[in-house]
C-alpha cells in the first residue's frame, strides 16, 4: 500500500495561494478562515494576502471592516498599493465614498490602478463632477496615466473632445481600449459623424470597434448605415458576434425592414448563434414588432432553452391590434413552465386594460414581486394612467421609500398630477438618497405650488450635490421667473441653459419669459438662435410682440410664420388677434377672424370672439361688436356680454342706444 502523500510545508505563499483560490470561487468566508489560520501560525501577511478576499464577489461590508485594521497594523497600506487599492475599490463599488476616500488618503503608495478604481466608482454612481476632479488630480499627481484611466473617465464627460486632445498628446490613441472608449463616448453623445470619421482613421479595428459603430448607427437617425457597416465588416473578414447581430437586428426593427431582418436571421443560423438567448431575444423582438406575434411566438417555442428572456421580448414587442394581450402571453408563459420575473411584469404593465391590470397586479403579489421597484412603479403608473389615482397612492405609500426610489418618483408624479403638491414634497423630502428625477419632481412641485424661494433653494442643493440639471428643472424655474417677472433670475437660468443642450420646449419657455418680462429684443435673439422651432415658438414671439406694444411687428411675424411653412393653429390666431386688440388694428383683426375657416380650416371659438369683441369695444365700434355677438354660431357666454357692457360703459352708451 502506497504511503499517504505528504502535505506541502506551510508557507505564506501557500496560504496566499489557497486564500486567493477560495476568494475567486466566491468563498470569502473560507478565505477569511484561512487568513485566521495563517496569522495564528505566525506568518505575516503580504501584498497578495488581502486583495483577493476584498475583491471576491462574495465580499461583504463586514469583511472589509474586519480587514481594514489588519492592513493598517501590518503596515501594508503604507508600503504597497495592492491592498489599499482593493479596499478603495470595494468601498467605491458599494457607493461608500467617504470610506473610499479615507482609505485613499491613508495610502502613501498608490498606483494608477488605485486612481482608476476611485474614478470608475464615481462614474458608476453618476457622480461625474467627482470623477473629473479626481482625474485632474491624477494628471497632476505624476503617477502616470494608463488606458484604464481614460476608459474610466470618458463616461463622465459630456463631450469627449478635450480628453481626445489629451489622448493624442500623450499618444495613446493607438491603444484599442482607449480608441473604442472614445468611439463609444462620441456615439453616446450623438456625434455619430465624428464617430464615423474617427472609426475610418483607426489603424487597428476589432469587433468592439465595429460593434460600437453598428450600435451607434442602429440607434441614430440613419439606422440603414448599421446594415451597411455589417456588410462591410463581413467583407473585410471580421467575424460578427452576438452583440453585432443584436445591434443590426435592432436597426432592422426600427426601420421595419423585413427583407434585411430575415437576411440577418439566416446569417445567425449559418454562424450557429440561433441557440444564443441574447440573439434569439433580438430576433423575437424583430418578428414581434415587424411581422407579427405568430412568427415571434414560433421562435419562442423553438428556443431550446425555453428562456424567460425570449418570453419577455414577446411581451414587450407584441402589438395589441395584432395578437393577444400581455396578460394572455403571461398565462402562456406560465403554462410552458416558465415563471414570470420582474422584467416580464414590467413589460406587461406598459399599457394594460384596467381588468388586465388588476389581474397582473394579483400575479405580481402571487409570485412575490410586489416589492420590486420597477414592477411597483409600473403598477403605480398604470393605475394613475387609468385615472384611479387613489389606487396608485394606496399602493405606493405602503412601499419602502429607501428601497423603491423609482416607485417613489412615479408616486410623486402621481401626487403632482392630482395637484397634491405638499404631499409630493413630504414624500421626496423623506427620501435619503434623491436622484436627478427626484430633485426635478420636487422642484416642479414647489414651482406649481408657488413656493418660489424653496424651489431655488432645492435647485442650489441639487447642483452642489453634483446632479445633472435636466430640461424639466429649467422649465420649472423659468415658469417661476415668468410668473414673478424676475428678469435677473431668468438671465441666470438662461446662462446655465446655454451650457447644456436645451430642447425646443426649454427654448420656448425662454421666449415666453423674456416676452413677459418686457425684454422683447432678448426674446427675438433667442428665437433667431434656436436650432428647431415649432408653432409654439412662433406663437410665443407673436404674443410677446403684441403684449409689448409691437402690434404691426406681430402681424408681420404672423405672415412670416405662414411663409416659413408653419400653419397657424387656434392659439396662434388668438395671439395675433390679441396683438391687433392691443394695437387697435381693427380692420386687420376682423379680417383674420372672418377668414379663419377659409384660410386655416379652423372654426372660431368663444375665446376668439371675446378677443374680437373686446378689440371692437375698445375702439368704440359697439354696433359692430353687437353684430359679431349676434352672428356667433353658439350662445354668447357671460364673459362676452361682460366685455360688451364694459365697452358700452366706457363710451357712455346705453343698451337701448346700441340695440335700437
pLDDT tens, position by position, 389-423: 888 888 887 887 777 888 888 888 888 888 888 88
**Which stretch, 50-64, 201-215, 242-256, 497-511, has highest mean pLDDT?**
242-256
Question: When comparing pLDDT for 7 and 417, which is higher?
Answer: 417
Q: Which residues of 386-421 are buried (b: 16+ CB within 10 A; e: fewer)?
A: eeebebbbebbeebebeebbbbbbbbbbbbbeeebb
| Predicted structure pTM score | 0.61
Ranges 49-63, 142-156, 507-521: which has the least confidence: 49-63
Question: Is the confidence at residue 64, as pLDDT, over 80?
Answer: no
What is the pLDDT, as a whole number, of residue 655?
57
Res. 208: pLDDT tops 50: yes
pLDDT score of 277 more than 50: yes
Closest to 262 (Cα-Cα) out of 279, 287, 296, 292: 287
How large is the angle between the packed helices 326-335 and 354-366, nearest 10 degrees? 30
The pLDDT assigned to 319 comes to: 56
Question: For residue 460, what is the enclosing H or E element?
Answer: helix 452-464
Band of residue 23 on the pLDDT scale cut at 50, 70, 90: confident
For the residues 186-212, what does the mean pLDDT come to? 84
pLDDT at 174 over 80: no
pLDDT tens digits, one per residue of 328-358 = 888 988 988 889 999 899 988 888 888 988 9
Instruction: Kindly state the average pLDDT of the residues 103-121.
Output: 89
203 vs 381, higher pLDDT:
381
**Does 6 score more than 70 pLDDT?**
no
Q: How far is CA 529 from CA 187, 191, 217, 496, 540, in A?
A: 25, 20, 28, 16, 15
The residue with cell 388694428 is 585
**12 or 329, greater pLDDT:** 329
Q: Can you tell me the mean pLDDT for 6-31? A: 73
Q: Please provide the average confidence, as pLDDT, over all residues in the chain.
A: 85
For the record, the C-alpha cell of 615 comes out as: 378689440
pLDDT surpasses 90 at 502:
no
Classify burial at 468, counting beta carbons within 10 Å of its beta carbon; exposed 0-12, middle 13-18, buried 19 or more: middle
Residue 227 has pLDDT above 70, yes or no: yes
Residue 313, C-beta contacts closer than 8 angstroms, at least 6 positions apart = 281, 282, 284, 285, 288, 296
What's the mean pLDDT in 352-368?
A: 90
Give the pLDDT band of residue 1 (cuts 50, 70, 90). Answer: very low
Q: Which residues contact 258 (CB under 8 A, 6 or more apart)?
A: 290, 291
Most confident listed range (200-209, 301-310, 380-389, 616-625): 616-625
Q: What is the DSSP string of 397-414?
A: HTS-TTT-HHHHHHHHHH
Say yes or no to pLDDT of 273 above 80.
yes
Closest CA to 428 of 459, 452, 402: 402
Q: How many residues does the chain have?
A: 660
Q: Is the pLDDT of residue 5 over 70?
A: no
**Are 142 and 179 contacting, i.e. CB atoms less than 8 angstroms apart?**
no
**pLDDT tens readout for residues 531-554:** 888 999 999 999 999 999 999 999
pLDDT of amino acid 3: 53
Amino acid at each position: 500500500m502506497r504511503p499517504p502523500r505528504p502535505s506541502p510545508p506551510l508557507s505564506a505563499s501557500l496560504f496566499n495561494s489557497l486564500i486567493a483560490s477560495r476568494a475567486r470561487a466566491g468563498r470569502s468566508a473560507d478565505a477569511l478562515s484561512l487568513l485566521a489560520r495563517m496569522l495564528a501560525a505566525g506568518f505575516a501577511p503580504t501584498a497578495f494576502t488581502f486583495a483577493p478576499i476584498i475583491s471576491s464577489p462574495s465580499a461583504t461590508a463586514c469583511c472589509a471592516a474586519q480587514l481594514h485594521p489588519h492592513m493598517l497594523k501590518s503596515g501594508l497600506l503604507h508600503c504597497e498599493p495592492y491592498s489599499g487599492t482593493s479596499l478603495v475599490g470595494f468601498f467605491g463599488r458599494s457607493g461608500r465614498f467617504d470610506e473610499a476616500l479615507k482609505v485613499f488618503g491613508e495610502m502613501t503608495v498608490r498606483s494608477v490602478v488605485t486612481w482608476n478604481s476611485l474614478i470608475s466608482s464615481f462614474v458608476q454612481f453618476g457622480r461625474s463632477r467627482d470623477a473629473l476632479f479626481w482625474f485632474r488630480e491624477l494628471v497632476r499627481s505624476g503617477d502616470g496615466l494608463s488606458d484604464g484611466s481614460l476608459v474610466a473617465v470618458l463616461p463622465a464627460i459630456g463631450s469627449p473632445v478635450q480628453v481626445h486632445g489629451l489622448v493624442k498628446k500623450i499618444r495613446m490613441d493607438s491603444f484599442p481600449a482607449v480608441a473604442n472608449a472614445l468611439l463609444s463616448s462620441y456615439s453616446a453623445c450623438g456625434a455619430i459623424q465624428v464617430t464615423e470619421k474617427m472609426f475610418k482613421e483607426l489603424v487597428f479595428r476589432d469587433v468592439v470597434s465595429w460593434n460600437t459603430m453598428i450600435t451607434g448607427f442602429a440607434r441614430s437617425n440613419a439606422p440603414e448605415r448599421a446594415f451597411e457597416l455589417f456588410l462591410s465588416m463581413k467583407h473585410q473578414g471580421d467575424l460578427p458576434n452576438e452583440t453585432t447581430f443584436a445591434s443590426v437586428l435592432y436597426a432592422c426593427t426600427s426601420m421595419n425592414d423585413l427583407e434585411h431582418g430575415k437576411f440577418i436571421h439566416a446569417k445567425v443560423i449559418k454562424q450557429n448563434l440561433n441557440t444564443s438567448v441574447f440573439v434569439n431575444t433580438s430576433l423575437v423582438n424583430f418578428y414581434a414588432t415587424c411581422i407579427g406575434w405568430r412568427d415571434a411566438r414560433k421562435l419562442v417555442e423553438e428556443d431550446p432553452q425555453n428562456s424567460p428572456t425570449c418570453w419577455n421580448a414577446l411581451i414587450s414587442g407584441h402589438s395589441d391590434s395584432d395578437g393577444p394581450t400581455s396578460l394572455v402571453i403571461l398565462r402562456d408563459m406560465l403554462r410552458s413552465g416558465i415563471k414570470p420575473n420582474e422584467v416580464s411584469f414590467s413589460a406587461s404593465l406598459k399599457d394594460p386594460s384596467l381588468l388586465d391590470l388588476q389581474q397582473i397586479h394579483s400575479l405580481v403579489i402571487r409570485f412575490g414581486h410586489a416589492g420590486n421597484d420597477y414592477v411597483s412603479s409600473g403598477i403605480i403608473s398604470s393605475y394613475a394612467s387609468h385615472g384611479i389615482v387613489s389606487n396608485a397612492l394606496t399602493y405606493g405609500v405602503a412601499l419602502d421609500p429607501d428601497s423603491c426610489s423609482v416607485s417613489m418618483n412615479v408616486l410623486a408624479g402621481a401626487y403632482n398630477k392630482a395637484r397634491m403638491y405638499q404631499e409630493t414634497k413630504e414624500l421626496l423630502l423623506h427620501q435619503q438618497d434623491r436622484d436627478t428625477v427626484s430633485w426635478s419632481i420636487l422642484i416642479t412641485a414647489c414651482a406649481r405650488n408657488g413656493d418660489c424661494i424653496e424651489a431655488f433653494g432645492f435647485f442650489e442643493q441639487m447642483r452642489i450635490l453634483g446632479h445633472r440639471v435636466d430640461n424639466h428643472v429649467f422649465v420649472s424655474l423659468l415658469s417661476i421667473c415668468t410668473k414673478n417677472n424676475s428678469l435677473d433670475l431668468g438671465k441666470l437660468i438662461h446662462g446655465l441653459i446655454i451650457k447644456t443642450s436645451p430642447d425646443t420646449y426649454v427654448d420656448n419657455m425662454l421666449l415666453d419669459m423674456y416676452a413677459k418680462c418686457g425684454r422683447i429684443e432678448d426674446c427675438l435673439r433667442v428665437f433667431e438662435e434656436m436650432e428647431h422651432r415649432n408653432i409654439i415658438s412662433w406663437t410665443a414671439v407673436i404674443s410677446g410682440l403684441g403684449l409689448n406694444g409691437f402690434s404691426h411687428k406681430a402681424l408681420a411675424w404672423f405672415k412670416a410664420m405662414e411663409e416659413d411653412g408653419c400653419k397657424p393653429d387656434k392659439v396662434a390666431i388668438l395671439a395675433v388677434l390679441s396683438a391687433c386688440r392691443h394695437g387697435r388694428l381693427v380692420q386687420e383683426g376682423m379680417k383674420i377672424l372672418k377668414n379663419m375657416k377659409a384660410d386655416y380650416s379652423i372654426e372660431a371659438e368663444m375665446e376668439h370672439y371675446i378677443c374680437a369683441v373686446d378689440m371692437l369695444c375698445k375702439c368704440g365700434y359697439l354696433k359692430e361688436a353687437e353684430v359679431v355677438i349676434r352672428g356667433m354660431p353658439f350662445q354668447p357666454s357671460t364673459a362676452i356680454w361682460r366685455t360688451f357692457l364694459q365697452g358700452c360703459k366706457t363710451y357712455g352708451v346705453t343698451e337701448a342706444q346700441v340695440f335700437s
